[in-house]
């Protein structure tokens, strides 16, 4: 049924928007482009809200990123970067038609969602890439509530920083009681003086170091800075859904003057707890939901600061208006968890992943296409810079040998050992895992995640039950590292 529908969607082409399709229970459809005139799409029409299927068009547009000077050419979904926020309720069916109006092939991956393998959006592994002018229909049940995002998995080191990313929110059946919800997508882009994007994607220098960093931090698609204001009323409680969509950069965010509660990591609820040391580490691809209480008085303002950029103020929390309530609320209740099979460590199969390489790396040997080479040769001959379990693989190579195989229902631990001088946010598709230990120190909350930051020369222990059948990517979410060899797969056999 699903396949037949997908084939139909793929063949339906341009006339599809006019056809009466069975409605899906998705919430809000695509949002209209920004009314401020900041985003002008030269190629794509705006789409009506509530359309079914939701249509996502990846195309070439212009967007105001810096406040002054010309607009910036970007690649974006439906004419805005970030693309429209897709909202669903838990249990909905997502029915999304992706149309490729880019000059390159593409795909869309639904980061974090436990979708059937064929819907995962990985070129050559789960689907053929979508050709320019082509379409692909994604349809899956949205099982997990939380904060997710979508982005291409094709040449993601170029397509994501050009602007192809958006947030995907799945509302809980019983939402967390707050006065208001705020969505922040942090990212960066690399702009020249004339505001054009610097098109230096795919440099081995970036692949082999910390990845390609932009020179402009963006918040919801335009330049971040103290002029970006989050207006709060005294006593107000907001839920901030925070996503790092940068292709390489990590953020270390402090909400000065405030004590936010962390209520979920990567969409998975945790016992509400204060931000450790007051600074929230958000690696590439990660999300954190915060509950922020308006503890300030009217007229006060506070910086939201990124300490990874030497104290750069991303935004300002500014107070005004009448108090919402006389006294600030106490610790929020925990959000109901998503369904997770609990890994039993006593009967788990143990696996390991060792990462080596990088330009400052110790001498490392790895295999490329079956031949053992040292890392300098791997860089010079193959344009790759990293190994996973002593193998460097080209992105989405057809000949991928999986890192390891599991049977459906198998309980699994994975020890990741980072023998490099760089941090790596490691992302597993199709599953969430418990983070058991970082650098051999047990985590307090054993939180569920889909992307975990591993320190330079550090390690991480995770556990999960292999529930979702298929071949799944396990890769670094510094997208230049993924393209530079840190891109493997694991297989769950049915």
Q: For residues 103 and 299, what is the distance between their CA atoms, to the nearest angstrom?
A: 49
What is residue 184's three-state secondary structure? strand
Considering the rule CB under 5 A, would residue 111 count as an interface residue with Cu ion? no
CA neighbor of 139 nearest in space, from 36, 61, 22? 22
CB of 455 to Cu ion, least distance (A): 12
Residue 212 in contact with Cu ion, rule: CB under 5 A: no
Provide, rounded to whole angstroms, the least separation between the CB of residue 380 and Cu ion.
20
The distance of closest approach from Cβ of residue 481 to Cu ion in the complex, given in angstroms and rounded to an integer, is 3
Contact predicate 127/136, CB 8 Å: yes
Q: Binding segment for Cu ion among 18-26, 177-185, 216-224, 416-424 (CB under 5 A)?
A: 416-424
Q: Cβ distance 150 to 70 under 8 Å? A: no
Minimum CB separation of residue 286 from Cu ion in Å reads 13
Number of residues that bind Cu ion (CB under 5 A): 4
From the number of C-beta atoms within 10 Å of its C-beta (0-12, 13-18, 19+), residue 204 rates as middle
Applying CB under 5 A, which part among 117-125, 303-311, 464-472, 477-485 lies near Cu ion?
Answer: 477-485
Q: Which stretch binds Cu ion (CB under 5 A): 192-200, 213-221, 298-306, 422-430?
A: 422-430
**Binding test (CB under 5 A) with Cu ion, winner from 109, 424, 434, 475:** 424
Strands (E), 369-447: 371-374, 386-388, 404-407, 411-418, 424-428, 433-438, 441-442
Nearer to Cu ion, 113 or 476 (CB): 476
Q: CB 110 → Cu ion: shortest distance, Å?
A: 21
Pick 224 or 476: Cβ nearer Cu ion: 476
Query: Among residues 210 and 377, whose Cβ is nearest to Cu ion?
Result: 210
Among 98, 168, 232, 476, binds Cu ion (CB under 5 A): 476
Taking CB under 5 A as the criterion, the residue among 414, 478, 483, 491 binding Cu ion is 478
DSSP one-letter string for 6-48: HHHHHHHGGGGGGS-PPP----S-PPPPPTTTTEE-SS-----
- The SS3 assignment for 457 reads coil
The stretch among 138-146, 370-378, 392-400, 481-489 that binds Cu ion (CB under 5 A) is 481-489
Which stretch, 53-61, 142-150, 420-428, 429-437, contacts Cu ion (CB under 5 A)?
420-428
DSSP state of 294: -
Sign of CA dihedral 407, 411, 417, 422: positive
State the minimum distance, in angstroms, from the CB of residue 111 to Cu ion: 16
> What's the full length of the chain, in residues?
494
For the bound state, the minimum distance from the C-beta of residue 480 to Cu ion, rounded and expressed in Å, comes to 8
The CA distances from residue 381 to 374, 376, 394, in Å, are 11, 8, 12
Neighbours of 46 (CB within 10 A): 14
Pick between residue 60 and residue 426 the one whose CB is nearest to Cu ion: 426
Range in contact with Cu ion (rule: CB under 5 A) among 40-48, 90-98, 254-262, 470-478: 470-478
Q: How far is residue 395's CA from residue 399's CA, in Å, rounded to a whole number?
A: 11
Q: Are 122 and 396 in contact (CB under 8 A)?
A: yes
- C-beta of 478 vs 483, nearer to Cu ion: 478
Which lies closer to Cu ion via its Cβ, residue 292 or residue 478?
478
The residues pairing with 188 across neighbouring beta strands, listed in sequence order, are 217
Binding to Cu ion by residue 481, rule CB under 5 A?
yes
- The residue (of 304 and 478) whose beta carbon lies closer to Cu ion is 478
Q: Which among 56-64, 191-199, 255-263, 475-483 is the span making contact with Cu ion, rule CB under 5 A?
A: 475-483
Output 108 or 478, the one with its CB closest to Cu ion.
478
In whole angstroms, how close is the CB of 11 to Cu ion at the nearest point?
A: 39
Pick between residue 195 and residue 209 the one whose CB is nearest to Cu ion.
Answer: 209
Q: At closest approach, how far in Å is the CB of 402 from Cu ion?
A: 19
Beta bridge partners of 270: none
- Reading the block at residue 482, the tokens are 């993924």
Q: Which of 122, 88, 81 is nearest to 427 (CA)?
A: 122
Q: How many CB atoms lie within 10 A of CB 71?
A: 17
The footprint of Cu ion (CB under 5 A) covers: 424, 476, 478, 481
């Amino acid at each position: 049924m699903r396949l037949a529908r997908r084939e139909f969607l793929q063949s339906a082409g341009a006339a599809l928007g006019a056809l009466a399709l069975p409605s899906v229970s998705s919430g809000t459809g695509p949002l209209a482009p920004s009314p401020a005139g900041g985003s002008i799409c030269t190629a794509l029409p705006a789409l009506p809200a509530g359309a079914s299927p939701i249509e996502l068009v990846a195309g070439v547009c212009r967007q105001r990123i810096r406040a002054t000077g010309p607009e910036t050419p970007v690649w974006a979904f439906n004419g805005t970067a970030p693309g429209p926020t897709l909202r669903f309720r838990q249990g909905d069916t997502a029915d999304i038609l992706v149309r490729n109006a880019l000059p390159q092939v593409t795909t869309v991956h639904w980061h974090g969602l436990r979708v059937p393998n064929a819907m995962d959006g990985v070129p050559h592994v789960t689907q053929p890439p979508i050709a320019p002018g082509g379409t692909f229909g994604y349809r899956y049940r949205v099982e997990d509530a939380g904060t997710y995002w979508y982005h291409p998995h094709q040449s993601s080191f170029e397509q994501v920083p050009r602007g192809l990313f958006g947030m995907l929110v799945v509302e809980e059946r019983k939402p967390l009681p707050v006065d208001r919800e705020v969505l922040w997508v942090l990212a960066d882009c690399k702009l020249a003086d004339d505001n054009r994007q610097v098109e230096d994607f795919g440099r081995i220098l970036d692949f082999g170091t910390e990845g390609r960093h932009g020179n402009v931090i963006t918040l919801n698609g335009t330049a971040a800075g103290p002029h970006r204001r989050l207006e709060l009323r005294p006593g107000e409680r907001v839920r901030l859904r925070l996503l790092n969509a940068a292709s390489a950069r990590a953020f270390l965010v402090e909400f000065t003057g405030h004590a936010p509660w962390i209520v979920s990591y990567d969409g998975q609820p945790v016992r509400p707890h204060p931000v450790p040391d007051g600074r929230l580490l958000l690696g590439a691809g990660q999300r954190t939901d915060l509950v922020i209480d308006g503890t300030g008085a009217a007229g006060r303002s506070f910086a939201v600061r990124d300490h990874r950029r030497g104290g750069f103020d991303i935004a300002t929390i500014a107070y005004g208006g009448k108090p919402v309530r006389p006294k600030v609320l106490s610790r929020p209740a925990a959000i109901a968890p998503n369904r997770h099979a609990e890994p039993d460590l006593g009967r788990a199969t143990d696996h390991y992943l060792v990462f080596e390489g990088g330009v400052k790396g110790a001498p490392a040997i790895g295999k490329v296409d079956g031949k053992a080479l040292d890392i300098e040769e791997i860089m010079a001959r193959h344009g790759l810079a990293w190994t996973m379990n002593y193998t460097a693989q080209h992105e989405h190579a057809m000949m991928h040998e999986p890192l390891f195989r599991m049977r459906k229902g198998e309980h699994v631990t994975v020890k990741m050992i980072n023998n490099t001088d760089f941090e790596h946010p490691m992302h597993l598709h199709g599953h969430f895992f418990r983070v058991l230990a970082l650098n051999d120190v047990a985590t307090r909350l054993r939180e569920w995640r889909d992307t975990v930051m591993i320190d330079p020369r550090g390690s991480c222990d995770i556990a999960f039950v292999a529930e979702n059948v298929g071949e799944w990517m396990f890769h670094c979410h510094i997208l230049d590292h993924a393209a530079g060899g840190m891109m493997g797969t694991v297989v769950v056999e049915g």
